[in-house]
């Protein structure tokens, strides 16, 4: 497919999204589909991601679902190749799937939490990049977008496994931006702040409101689509000179001291 390098559209581009069944991944899949992309929606929760793709197809949009546990190295290769075969390539990889991983450093079971956090939140990213790379190299507008967290930039007590994994994502982003830049592959990272998704749904409303009022500049939680819009912006062909960037989408959380 030929792509106008100044294009501000993802129409016709193929985007592979992990963790697309819920929250930011779901909002991202919906936004890219509405913008005319071919959406490969993948998730551990296979029925939910199938239901998402069916709904998008019913609206006349282009989307297909795959069950994918990003902690499964072999499945990453199989699904990535299946996506490329189905749509004739991959232009945009969005590493979004995630879990929370709270555990005090001296808690029993910390090792298991650490291993799972690193596997899902960091190791999976490099594996998906390596699986998608041959396909991205054939794209006229190759983009990698990693979803990290403001926990990569500051940190919360009892969240060290998650914070370490997310800080790893920012390092991986920079290193791959440098390594792949000469090939025109851009690699960027978004650090969402507090966003209303499945991950934060269990927090009582009053606690969410208090946190947002005290900590963010905008005084509220973000909506998943507010992150999806930044992801879309980074995926545009016209975003060709943005790489290695670590971009907070956090309602001003990181900007605020008091």
Q: Which residues bind ligand NAD (CB under 6 A)?
A: 18-19, 21-25, 43-45, 68-71, 96-99, 120, 147, 149, 192, 194-195, 197-200
| Contact between 54 and 29 (Cβ < 8 Å) | no
Ramachandran area for residue 100 (φ above 0: left; ψ -120 to 50: alpha; else beta): beta
Catalytic residue, from 110, 162, 221, 241: name it. Answer: 162
Shortest distance, CB of residue 96 to ligand NAD, whole angstroms? Answer: 5
Cβ-based neighbour number of residue 240 at 10 Å: 14
Minimum separation from the CB atom of position 138 to ligand NAD (A) = 25
We find the least distance from the C-beta atom of residue 240 to ligand NAD, in angstroms, to be 25
| 110: annotated active-site residue | no
Q: In whole angstroms, how close is the CB of 3 to ligand NAD at the nearest point?
A: 27
Question: For residues 70 and 141, which CB has a smaller minimum distance to ligand NAD in the complex?
Answer: 70
Which CB sits closer to ligand NAD, 35 or 43? 43
Q: How far apart are CA 104 and CA 159, in angstroms?
A: 7
Distance of CA 153 to the CA centre of its chain: 17
Q: What are phi and psi of 169, to 5 degrees?
A: -65, -35
Calpha distance 96→89 (Å, rounded): 20
Q: Which is nearer to ligand NAD, 28 or 243 (CB)?
A: 28
Cβ count within 10 A of residue 59: 10
Residue whose CB is less far from ligand NAD, 51 or 111: 51
Question: Known catalytic residues?
Answer: 162
């Amino acid at each position: 497919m030929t792509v106008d390098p100044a294009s501000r559209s993802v129409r016709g581009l193929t985007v592979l999204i992990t963790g697309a069944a819920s929250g930011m991944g779901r909002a991202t899949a919906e936004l890219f589909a509405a913008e005319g992309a071919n959406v490969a929606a993948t998730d551990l929760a296979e029925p939910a991601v199938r239901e998402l793709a069916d709904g998008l197809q019913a609206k006349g949009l282009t989307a297909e679902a795959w069950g994918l546990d990003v902690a499964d190295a072999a499945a990453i290769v199989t699904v990535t190749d299946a996506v490329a075969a189905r749509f004739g390539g991959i232009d945009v990889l969005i590493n979004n799937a995630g879990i929370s991983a709270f555990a005090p450093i001296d808690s029993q079971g910390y090792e298991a939490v650490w291993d799972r956090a690193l596997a899902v939140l960091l190791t999976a990213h490099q594996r998906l990049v390596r699986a998608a790379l041959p396909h991205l190299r054939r794209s006229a507008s190759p983009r990698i977008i990693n979803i990290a967290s403001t926990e990569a930039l500051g940190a919360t007590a009892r969240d060290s496994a998650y914070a370490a994994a997310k800080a790893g994502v920012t390092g991986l982003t920079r290193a791959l931006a440098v390594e792949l830049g000469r090939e025109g592959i851009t690699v960027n990272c978004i650090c969402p702040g507090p966003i209303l998704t499945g991950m934060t749904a269990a927090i009582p409303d009053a606690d969410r409101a208090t946190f947002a009022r005290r900590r963010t500049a905008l005084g509220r939680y973000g909506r998943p689509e507010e992150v999806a819009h930044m992801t879309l912006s980074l995926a545009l062909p016209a975003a060709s000179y943005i790489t290695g960037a670590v971009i907070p989408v956090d309602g001003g959380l990181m900007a605020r001291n008091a």
